[in-house]
Each structure stands twice: as structure tokens, then as C-alpha cells.
Amino acid sequence: MATLTLKQLKKQYPNGYKALHGIDLDFGEGELIVIVGPSGCGKSTLLRTLAGLEDISEGDLEINGKRVNDLEPAERDIAMVFQNYALYPHMSVFDNMAYGLRNRRTPKDEIQQRVSEAAELLGLTELLDRRPKQLSGGQRQRVAMGRAIVRKPQVFLFDEPLSNLDAKLRVQMRLEIRRLQKRLKVTSVYVTHDQTEAMTLADRLVVMNEGHVEQFGTPMALYDKPASKFVAGFIGSPAMNFLDATLEDASEGSGQDATLALPCGARLALRPETTVIDTVINNTLTLGIRPEHLDVLETDSPLPKGAAELNVQVELVEPLGADTLAYCRLAGQTEPLVVRLDGEHVVAEDQQLRLAITPARAHLFGADGRRLTTCS
């Protein structure tokens, strides 16, 4: 068990490309941290600098308060599970797991004991004599995890370990990794580009974009209060809807009566905090609303207080069983508006819908993409 501290960590490649621009993060003991972001955001580079596979250009990396920048991967007391498993093809399952221990001159009987423990834990006992070639994808994945477990490291690193598995197996292994991590209580850093995997696994989540940390927090904190438009669009599925909006002030100056005007003509009683209101008045802002937070109004029911009404036309319906997704056309908006309805709600294509946005469910982002704290 260990803490992991990153202080102003920077990585620049010899060709001048800057992959990481000063990362500050603090991971607690036994936490499962997931780093998520689109490809090229620097998440894999970050993981590889933690592992020691890439040199750190600037800043410090500490494990348990000890600076490890200059230590070889093997000296950092970490273990890593790779995307393509990276099993040694010419060695048996047993030897694959034992190799790291042998290199550390662990006594033979201890190797035997640790490997059989790990094999038992992962259900690999019957397969110890096999070669990686004779295993299925899921079994290889388990061997890769077993290789990490037998070392009893301070930190586990996972580099998109499930991306080579089929969908069903991926869900199953996801649960298994979660269960295993809780049981072993080893601090873990898990990199993925799959936001569902990220949400379901993480104790805390790091969202990265273009070499920066966009936000760091629990999955629900990121879902409820995304720090930026980027995070808002990345976390949650289907993704949040974004609408252009302008803050209009009827009373000139005070901002107290400012309301948000949408291109379709609807107005929403939502405005940023008074401290920033002057700087954004009459500017274009972005209104964010999740598909599951758009309420469908019956034809004659009244609009809730402070809410805005949107009249849309359904273009496409995707029934998913429990839910139904409706892709709708809204005047003044090029992107379709996605609405999540419960599965029983029957909608037809070309049908008109009345939708309500309540201010409490809406997110507001400035021109720079940062979240604006709001009051209604």
C-alpha cells in the first residue's frame, strides 16, 4: 500500500513534442484511480512515466513520499498490466508469473507458493503448464494480472487492459478487477479511453486532455459538477447536449435580472454568480443539459417554475430496452438534441415533443470552456 504524489510533472520528447504540461496529483493508499481521456491526451504517457518506462523531463514523482524519478522500473516496486498482455510467448504460465520473482532472487519455495496462490485467486491453477498461445483472451488477461499480483507490489498500473477483449468479457473482467483490487487493497492506477469503464471502476477519476488534467474527483462529482465543457462532454453516456446561449440583461448593468436566451427563442432563468456576471454579459455561453435531464411535458401540463420550454421534432428513435433515446431537431441548432426516455415511453419519428430544462439540472460554460458557477 502506498501513496503516489505527482508534482508539476512534465514530459517533453526529444523531438520537442510536449506530452505532459505540469501534472499535479495525489493518490491515496489503496485507491483505484482511473485516468481517462481521448487518444493522444497523454494518459498513457503519464502511466509510463509512473512506471519508469519514460523518463520524467521535469517535476517529481514520489511513492510513499520518496522521490523515484531516477529509479529503474524494477526498482520502483510497481507492477504493470499491458494492453496486449505482453506475456513471454516461450514461457509457461507458471514461468511467466515467476520470472520477475526469479530476477529478484526470491527463494524457490516462496515463488512456488506465491504463484499457486495467485493462480488460485484467478482460477489459473489448471493452466500453469500451458503456453500463452494455448490460452483464450480472457485467460491471457488473467495471467497478465497474475504476473502483477505475485510480485506484491506497492502500486499496480493498468494500461487499457480490457481493450482487446470482446464486450461481454470486458464487463466480466471489469468486475473481477474491481473485486480483486478491493481485496488486495493495492493502490492502482488504471488508464482507459472508455468512460463507462472509468465511471464503474474508479474510486477517483482523472480526466485528461491535451497533456493537462481537466478534473480530478469521484465519478459522481465529475458527473454532477463537470469542471469544463470537455469533462461534461466526456463523462456520461450518451454525451451531454450543448446549446449556444446568450446572457441578456433587461435592466442594464446590475445583472440581477439577466436571463439566458437560446437560439430557438426560449429563455431560462439562469445566470452566473454576480462576481463574473459583468464579464460574460451579452457574450455567447454554452448551456449543457444531459439527455436524462430533459423532461418531456404532456401536451397541456404547465411548465415548472423557472424552467424553459423547448419544442422539438423527433428525427430518430433508438430503443435500448430499459431506455429509449430520441434524437430531436431543435430550431437554431445543427446538432440533434438527445433525449433519454424511459423504455415505456412510446415516441414515434416525426412526432413533436415539449421538453423542459430546469435550471438546477443545467450546466453553464464560458467561452473558454470553464464551468461557471450559477444561481437561478
Partner 1 sequence: MRYNRPGLDIASHLLLIVGCALFFLPVWIAFSASTHEMGDLYSNVAPVWIGEAGLDNYRHLLEDPVSSLGADVMTLLFNSMIMALGIALGKIIISVLAAYAIVFFEFRFRKLCFWLIFITLMLPVEVRILPTFKVVADLNMLDSYAGLILPLIASATATFLLRQFYMTIPAELVEAARIDGAGPWRFLKDILLPLSKTNIAALFVIMFIYGWNQYLWPLLITTDADYLTIVVSLKRMLTTGDGLVPWQDVTATTLLAMGPPVLVILFMQRYFIKGLVDSEK
- Shortest Cβ distance from residue 118 to partner 1 (Å)? 14
Q: Considering beta carbons, is residue 152 or 370 the nearer one to partner 1?
A: 152
- Residue 179 beta carbon to partner 1: minimum distance, rounded to whole angstroms: 24
345 is an interface residue for partner 1 by CB under 8 A:
no
Nearer to partner 1, 124 or 270 (CB): 124
As a whole number of angstroms, the distance between CA 92 and CA 194 comes to 32
* Grid coordinates given for 134: 494455448
Q: Which residue, 159 or 197, has its beta carbon nearer to partner 1?
A: 159
The total of other beta-carbon atoms located within 10 Å of residue 265's CB is 12
CB of 159 to partner 1, least distance (A): 8
When the beta carbons of 90 and 182 are compared against partner 1, the nearer one is 90
Q: How far apart are CA 45 and CA 51, in angstroms?
A: 10
User: In angstroms, rounded to a whole number, what is the distance separating the alpha carbons of residues 189 and 242?
Assistant: 31
Distance CA 129, CA 264 (A): 67
Total binding residues toward partner 1, as defined by CB under 8 A: 23
163 or 218: CB nearest partner 1 = 163
Cell of 214: 481537466
Supply the DSSP string of 269-333, one letter for each residue.
Answer: --EE-HHHHHHHTTSEEEEEE-GGGPEEEPTTPPPPTT-EEEEEEEEEEEE-SSEEEEEEEETT-
Q: Which residues pair with 216 in a beta bridge?
A: 206
Binding mask 128-167 for partner 1 (x = CB under 8 A): -------------------x--------------------
- Select 84 or 256, whichever has its Cβ closest to partner 1: 84
Least distance (Å) between residue 78 CB and partner 1: 7
Nearer Cβ to partner 1 (51/171): 51
In the window 66-95, what residues touch partner 1 (CB under 8 A)?
A: 72-74, 78-80, 82-90
204: left (phi over 0), alpha (psi -120 to 50) or beta: beta
CB of 351 to partner 1, least distance (A): 51
CB of 73 to partner 1, least distance (A): 5
Query: Min. distance of Cβ 130 from partner 1 in angstroms?
Result: 17
For partner 1, the closer of residues 7 and 131 by Cβ is 131
Cis bond before residue 153 (omega within 30° of 0): no
57 touches partner 1 (CB under 8 A): no
Q: Toward partner 1, which CB reaches closer, 140 or 363?
A: 140
CB 235 within 8 A of CB 195: yes
Burial of 306 (0-12, 13-18, 19+ CB in 10 A): middle
Smallest separation (angstroms) from partner 1 to the CB of 121: 19
> Phi and psi (nearest 5°) for 131?
-90, 155
By CB under 8 A, is residue 100 in contact with partner 1? Answer: yes
Q: Which is nearer to partner 1, 59 or 73 (CB)?
A: 73
Q: Contacting partner 1 (CB under 8 A), which of 5, 99, 292, 295?
A: 99
Q: Write out the binding residues for partner 1, residues 23-52 only, by CB under 8 A.
A: 51-52
| Least distance from partner 1 to the Cβ atom of residue 32, Å | 19
Backbone torsion region of residue 11, taken as left when φ is above 0, otherwise alpha when ψ lies between -120 and 50, otherwise beta = beta
Angle at 157 between CA 152 and CA 159, to 5 degrees: 140
DSSP 212-225: EEEEEE-HHHHHHS
Residues engaged in binding partner 1 (CB under 8 A):
51-53, 72-74, 78-80, 82-90, 99-100, 103-104, 147
